[in-house]
Amino acid sequence: MSETYAESAGKSLADRAAALDAADELGKVRAQFVLDDTVYLDGNSLGALPRSVPGRVEDVVRRQWGSLRIRSWDESGWWTAPERIGDRIAPLVGAAPGQIVVGDSTSVNVFKAVVGAVRLAGGGTDGGTDRGADGGALRGHRDEILVDATTFPTDGYIAASAARLTGCTLRPVAPDEVPDALSGRTAAVLLNHVDYRTGRLHDLPALTAAIREAGAVSIWDLCHSAGALPVGLDEHGVDLAVGCTYKYLNGGPGSPAYLYVRRDHQARFDSPLPGWNSHADPFGMTPDHVPADGALRGRVGTPDILSMLALEAALEVWDDVSIEAVRAKSLALTDFFLECVTAYVPGGAVESVTPADHGERGSQVALRCADAGAVMRRLIDQGVIGDFREPDILRFGFTPLYVGFGDAERAAGVLGRMF
């Protein structure tokens, strides 16, 4: 009996996957993670565990906390961890040292950034500065915040609250409509670099330039791009940025987020959460808040040391890895996965909603299909871990540090058997 097209294609694609994995310069990094025989394509929700983390956490708990106790704030470097780890993240998002501080959740950092941006722009009615985003005199009253209409819900919720607190109007706008929506009223613009649902990569350089030209302040959410592709915060003149660390940066569940404040804004960045850790003299215990210099004014309260130092250990996997190599493999992986899906999945059963154009694609593939929730549950039962987004999206995240081409081929093969 002659073999079917799918069987023939399967042999060819499996052979190609093996050859691609053998030639993969990042393939050796996979050994630095704790993995099993499942195909893990959910690193865009929670990254895999780096092998260096358990031992580091044990040391932090047993020696630094258990033996040194309070001395560890100085002797183990706990006090400087937020900015030290920020400097570890900085090269991955294209930032020079001294502009990123780690701590709090993404939601809290979005709040700091949006309110801080309105104040930088001289907008709102909450007592912010009366200077413009470029430091010059304010041109007109800026009382509007633009927010990505396709944003992850929390960003929208936080932006709405920030708008109420600052006396601004919140205006949801699709990212590609931002240039036309900008005006002299615009104080701040909050956008996602990569759409969490579809994997669409938005044009950060062009949109940032348009926001700057309009005299407004840009805020980028990097949760679905940091660690997956080059960002270029300094190069493209981004004003403020936030991001989580538990996705492509593999920091662990609930690991602390980060806040980027462009160096030339730091002296005027007015955080709405001026905690004691952001004070110029935190142990002076003075009644008035005097903000620290630099990115440290983005700190709030006592750092969450256990999860922060787990993140620091996790970031060691990046020591000999370039973000450009990660991006090249990401695009090759997602291209290959889509090719395998075309070969294995019956025509019409799924539809990719992730852009085919490399310039518009993050590091995930989103497939629309009927009864997607049930399909994903069956995939997970058969050892392919992705996730489901309402109402009909199968989402597969490709983390190039530990996902290989064989994983992509196997996942597509299992998906094909769902229909």
Q: State yes or no: 106 annotated in a binding site.
A: yes
Q: State yes or no: 276 annotated in a binding site.
A: yes
Q: State yes or no: 220 annotated in a binding site.
A: no
Residue type, 188: A
Q: Which of 152, 337, 344, 405 is catalytic?
A: 152
Angle of the 5-23 helix axis to the 323-344 helix axis, nearest 10:
170
Q: Which of 247, 262, 361, 410 is catalytic?
A: 247
Q: State yes or no: 186 annotated in a binding site.
A: no
Q: Is 246 a catalytic residue?
A: yes
* 369 and 394 Cβ atoms separated by less than 8 Å: yes
Q: Which of 111, 395, 407, 410 is catalytic?
A: 395
Q: Which of 246, 336, 396, 398 is catalytic?
A: 246
Cβ atoms within 10 A of the Cβ of 61, count? 12
Q: Is 157 a catalytic residue?
A: no
Q: State yes or no: 153 annotated in a binding site.
A: yes
Q: State yes or no: 405 annotated in a binding site.
A: no
Three-class SS string for the chain?
CCCCHHHHHHHHHHHHHHHHHHHCCCHHHHHHEECCCCEECECCCCCCEECHHHHHHHHHHHHHHHHHHHHHHHHCCCCCHHHHHHHHHHHHHCCCCCCEEECCCHHHHHHHHHHHHHHHCCCCCCCCCCECCCCCECCCCCCEEEEECCCCHHHHHHHHHHHHHHCCEEEEECHHHHHHHCCCCEEEEEEECECCCCCEECCHHHHHHHHHHCCCEEEEECCCCCCCCCCCCCCCCCCEEEECCCCCCCCCCCCCCEEEECHHHHHHCCCCCCCHHHECCCCCCCCCCCECCHHHHHCCCCCCHHHHHHHHHHHHHHCCCCHHHHHHHHHHHHHHHHHHHHHHCCCCCCEECCCCCHHHECCEEEEECCCHHHHHHHHHHCCEECEEECCCEEEEECCCCCCCHHHHHHHHHHHHCCC
The CA distances from residue 281 to 198, 268, 278, in Å, are 45, 18, 8
Q: Is 33 a catalytic residue?
A: no
Q: State yes or no: 196 annotated in a binding site.
A: no
Q: State yes or no: 176 annotated in a binding site.
A: no
Q: State yes or no: 154 annotated in a binding site.
A: yes
Q: State yes or no: 302 annotated in a binding site.
A: yes
Q: State yes or no: 371 annotated in a binding site.
A: no
Active site residues: 152, 221, 246-247, 395
Binding residues for pyridoxal 5'-phosphate: 106-107, 152-155, 221, 224, 246, 276, 302
